Structure 1
Amino acid sequence: MPNIQDAKILIITTHGFEQSELEFPRDQLRAKGAEVQVATLDGKAAKGWEGSDWGREAEADLKIADAKIADYDALVIPGGQINPDLLRVEKDVVSLVKDFVTSGKIVAAVCHAPWVLVEAGVVKDREMTSYHSIRTDVENAGARWVDQSVAVSNGIVTSRNPDDLKDFVAKIVEEIEEGKHDRDAA
């Protein structure tokens, strides 16, 4: 069985990520022993959004376009309104998400980040949750939306908002330790 201490996790982001939705998973997963790397569109630090203004920067380890799926056990996408809206129009991002899903690796998205999963065409027939304002988008893409702190569907983990982050991280760890997930192709 895989162990979280042996896991390598990729977080993809750009400017406007919800501060806690990047920092909490990154820091908690690192504290549990996982190697966590942050990838941005340009390979440079990205600025978060906290409350009603810009927040702190998150250092980047690499460009999203340079990320190799074989190097990672899981992909985490923080929310916020701005971050996933910018990410979902990037060909490299959509392709990376599809490839993670079709390879059976864990994909976790919180708040508005399920927008990226919708764009990648990987939500049909899955039980998912998200920030309430994008519920219709998730449902229109074919997912069964649920109002709970965390939903998991064959290795895809989703949560609603920053209040759910403890459950979100716990489920990511649980899914990684379960191992590779066989699933229908995206």
Structure 2
Amino acid sequence: MTRPHSLSTRALAALAVSLVLLTGCTADPKPSPSPTPTPPFASKKDAFAAAEATYRAYNDALNLVDPADPATFEAVFERTTGDFQAVDRKNLSVMHAEELTVSGANTVVAFHPLRTTATYDEVRARICVDVSSVQIVDARGASRVAQDRAPIYVADVTFVWSDDAYLISRASKADDSSCG
């Protein structure tokens, strides 16, 4: 998901038409598109390394979340966008409202590059996270972790380039749960 530009395409078109009418010149009815920022990578390897750094920073921020203190959520949101951020916002809000407590930490155990666009503005990777030490309990001390939770969570994650950094935009549980 891209962030809105300061002027919409319609506003740019209206501005171009106004300038034509004021100057009496003819112009192409379509304004030229604004350039998309290009990630500053020379190779796939560099792009994937930057995406991995983004995910590891996200994971570190997630490990520092205190559901009782919504201010701790902001570092998580800084590394996400779109649907992924919406889900995080909802989940963290529910955890806060239900007064849940989290202990333990997620650990990224593998980052496997899958694919990228030619301009590296979108990257996809399979990420394996050890969640075995994370416990979530409610105010009564009852566990909210599913009994059948796997110790390693495997997800296919999509990153998009925005404002000079990768942001996590989508994630889905991987069909193939291999982390090898």
Q: Please classify the TM superposition score into its range, dividing by the shorter chain length.
A: under 0.3
The structure whose Rg is larger is: 2
Higher helix content, 1 or 2: 1
